[in-house]
Chain A
Amino acid sequence: MPFKRYVEIGRVALVNYGKDYGKLVVIVDVVDQNRALVDAPDMVRSQMNFKRLTLTDIKIDINRVPKKKTLIDAMEKADVKNKWENSSWGRKLIVQKRRALLNDFGRFKLMLAKIKKAGIVRQELAKLKKETAA
């Protein structure tokens, strides 16, 4: 039951409410019990309530309140973007975004693909069942 992801300077978090919804930000300083100073390469540094943030596993090595350039360099060094896009959470978000942009024809083709995949899986399962039954 212990906590594994801590609020600390350098913790990467996902914004889950508000104008910057869906952005990855870095906690750069803690203002008080409820708020953090937060920064990202494409955003003006601002304060955010912790309730608007969801902590991720990723942490980068920075000092308290680094300059923007230092922050960007530290993020490049820790390879935050690739780590995020290869994590299962990050991949799920990418798929969600892609599905939201599908048009009606795209959704139809997706349905056909799902049915086909399920058919193949069921065939393999039936084969395996037969082998274990025999």
Chain B
Amino acid sequence: MAAKRKTPVKTRNPDLIRGVGKYSRSKMYHKRGLWAIKAKNGGVFPRHDPQPKVPAAAEKRPKFYPADDVKKPLLNKRKPKPTKLRASITPGTVLILLAGRFMGKRVVFLKQLNSGLLLVTGPFKINGVPLRRVNQSYVIATSTKTDISGVNVDKFDDRYFTKEVVKKKKKGEGEFFEAEKEDKKKLPEDKKEDQKAVDASLVKSIEGVPDLKAYLAARFSLKSGMKPHELVF
């Protein structure tokens, strides 16, 4: 193949309508400078000999031909993007969790991970919610924002939160009747350290705002007379 240009050439021949260019063949000949290329090459268009072809490896005959035609599946070039983050959710926003173990807890948003899930922390000291992933759909964004500038969340991504793969040992007959040796998995120390590091500066900025610490420690619930569609969050 001839050498490719670094940037693809924009057509010098704009379309009047689809299929009809603005300039005729003779005009385009002049625009593209083919006359200059010919002049440089002595009146003839330069001709390059074809480059020696690399001999293709000899293909082996397949040992199995299917009886009927096998359909090739359609090509899928889709690249999924992370879920679009709601405009009301910015780093430092206080979110209300709506489902799961921490239902009703008010929690600080840190960043959106590549899978689209939101990285969130209690902070742990204040309301017991650790560094956790949460789906955007199960969250109400309040308009309360905290200062998150002192927090470094670069090291957290989806792989940090995946479950550890435990190799299953082959169980013998006798071991079925033994008591389950594995008790509750302990949280590794480095995860605890990560939590403390993230929460240190967060808690300081939260304590700077009056009542915010108590606010984050309390759970949200709908009381009598509260109409969610009329509430401003």
Mark A residues whose CB is within 8 Å of B: 100-105, 108-109, 112
Contacts and interface: CB of A to CB of B under 8 A. Distances in A.
A101 B232 contact: yes
B211 interface: yes
Main secondary structure of the interface of B (DSSP, over half): mixed
Most chain B CB atoms below 10 A, which of A100, A102, A108: A108
Contacts, number: 33
A104 B214 contact: no
Given A103-B142, A103-B143, 17 more contacts: A100-B230, A100-B232, A103-B144, A103-B232, A103-B233, A104-B96, A104-B106, A104-B220, A104-B233, A105-B94, A105-B143, A105-B144, A105-B212, A105-B215, A108-B211, A108-B214, A112-B211
Contacts of A101: 232
Contacts of A108: 211, 214-215, 218
Interface of B: 94, 96, 106, 142-144, 211-212, 214-215, 218, 220, 230-233
Nearest to A108: B215
19 contacts: A101-B232, A103-B143, A103-B144, A103-B233, A104-B94, A104-B143, A104-B144, A104-B220, A105-B94, A105-B143, A105-B144, A105-B212, A105-B215, A108-B214, A108-B215, A108-B218, A109-B211, A109-B215, A112-B214
